[in-house]
Amino acid sequence: MSNTKAYAAQSATSLLAPFSFNRRAVEAHDVQIEILYCGVCHSDIHQVRNEWGGSIFPMVPGHEIVGRVAQVGNHVKKFKIGDLAGVGCFVDSCRECPQCKAGLEQYCEVGMNSTYNGYEKDGKTPTYGGYSTNIVVDENYVLKISEKLQLTGVAPLLCAGITTYSPLRHVGVKKGDKVAVVGLGGLGHMAVKFASSFGAEVTMLSSSPTKEAGAKKLGAHHFVLTSDAKQLNAVKNKFDVILNTVSAPHQYATYLNLLTVNGTMIVVGAPPKPSEVPALNLIIKRRSIVGSLIGGIAETQEMLDYCAECNIVSDVEVIDISYINQAYERMLKNDVRYRFVIDIASLKK
Ligand code: NAP
Ligand code: ZN
Ligand code: ZN
């Protein structure tokens, strides 16, 4: 057991504040990682504020974790002390159901063990996430990280990266496809980078007029301000794929209208309130709407290797842990370019 410094929320209405707890001991198949950086996902805010229901407190958020291996169990094969390592949104799963066997652990039929706001395999020890100095995880659920990339920009790949890479691959986005991304935050900016690297013609659909130049720098070919009806009307029936990353309640119909025949809107944003899906908006062009949850371990490794090969990282603003509550407020105002990443050294001060 090791004493671990962290930041936690004690309830859905309290700010994040210093907290400490004991990590479990390193067992035969575990690695202990000294955390260097942890990204700040909008899912952290949803869960800290109990917007999805069922939150477990105290809560130490954080599921975009990178660091160095500090200790390995006797049977660990993939890692040695000193290696870079990453942990994403889950730290275990049943390993036996058809989804786990197919490498789709995120859809485990028993339920994956979330990195935080969940329980370890014993079903009773709460999991605590990456706003902390170290984490202990079974090596099968730990990712290998290239030494080539800038580490601050790698952390967000563990959630924002895989959550956008996986569905774009799943629907088979390829050269020449017309892809739109809704919402230019952490997920949205990775979606722009991936879709353009797959050769798609990318349009950014944003509610923020100030984000046009930034979107184009990230690889978007076009920018549409969604509050401008004229601009929106000009892209009606146009896109093959729309990746919707919006975190706040909104109407799906607005974006469904922009899909061409057989077009697909992939929903990854998880607003706390439902949206209506008008039947006619689907019927008239045989459109589909699908959801997607992060990605499995093998695909997350594939994405990390792809990023190392193509030199893709997240664009980040590195913060001290003491800034976390302000960072949340800025995210809620759509004011992040494009991911906050906590320098975990600031927790040790
Ligand atoms: P984020 O960085 O805060 O970005 C969200 C973006 O959505 C904002 O920057 C803004 O972009 C847009 N937006 C916000 N409110 C809006 C509104 N009322 N109308 C239109 N657009 C609005 O959040 P994130 O970390 O990328 O996460 C986005 C969502 O994905 C969250 O709900 C999160 O929980 C969810 N998520 C899902 C998965 C999954 O597996 N499916 C994984 C991770 C996160 P503009 O300024 O460009 O409009
Ligand atoms: Zn996330
Ligand atoms: Zn399973």
Q: Model confidence over 90-135: pLDDT tens digits?
A: 999 999 999 999 999 999 999 999 999 999 999 999 999 999 999 9
Per-residue pLDDT, 2: 80
* Third-level CATH fold of 161-291: Rossmann fold (3.40.50)
Strand, helix or coil for residue 54? coil
Mean pLDDT of 147-167: 98
Q: Give residue 270 CA to ligand 1 midpoint distance, Å.
A: 8
What are the structure tokens assigned to 261, written together? 């025949």
Residues within a 6 A CB radius of ligand 1: 41-43, 46, 159-160, 163, 183-188, 206-208, 211, 245-248, 250, 268-271, 292-294, 331, 334, 336
Mean pLDDT of 58-86: 98
Determine which residue's CA is closest to atom 9 belonging to ligand 1: 185
Find out if CATH 3.90.180.10 is the number for domain 2-159+295-347: yes
DSSP assignments along 235-291, one per residue: TTT-EEEEEE---S---HHHHHTTEEEEEEEEE----SS-----HHHHHTTT-EEEE
Q: Give tens-digit pLDDT for 162-216.
A: 999 999 999 999 999 999 999 999 999 999 999 999 999 999 999 999 999 999 9
DSSP assignments along 94-154, one per residue: -S-SHHHHTT-GGG-SS--EESSSSB-TTSSSBP--SSBSEEEEEGGG-EE--SSS-HHHH
Per-residue pLDDT, 349: 86
Per-residue pLDDT, 269: 98
Per-residue pLDDT, 138: 98
Alpha carbons within 13 angstroms on the beta-carbon side of residue 44 total 35
Q: What is the CA radius of gyration of the chain?
A: 20
| pTM, entire model | 0.98
Mean pLDDT of 289-300: 98
Mean pLDDT of 207-236: 98
Determine which residue's CA is closest to atom 35 belonging to ligand 1: 269
The strand pair at 143-144 and 178-182 is best described as unpaired
Domain boundaries, the chain: 2-159+295-347, 161-291
Q: Is the pLDDT of residue 1 over 80?
A: no
Per-residue pLDDT, 293: 98
Residue 57 binned pLDDT confidence (cut-offs 50, 70, 90): very high
Q: Give residue 48 CA to ligand 1 midpoint distance, Å.
A: 16
Q: Give residue 194 CA to ligand 3 midpoint distance, Å.
A: 28
Mean pLDDT of 254-282: 97
Determine which residue's CA is closest to atom 44 belonging to ligand 1: 43
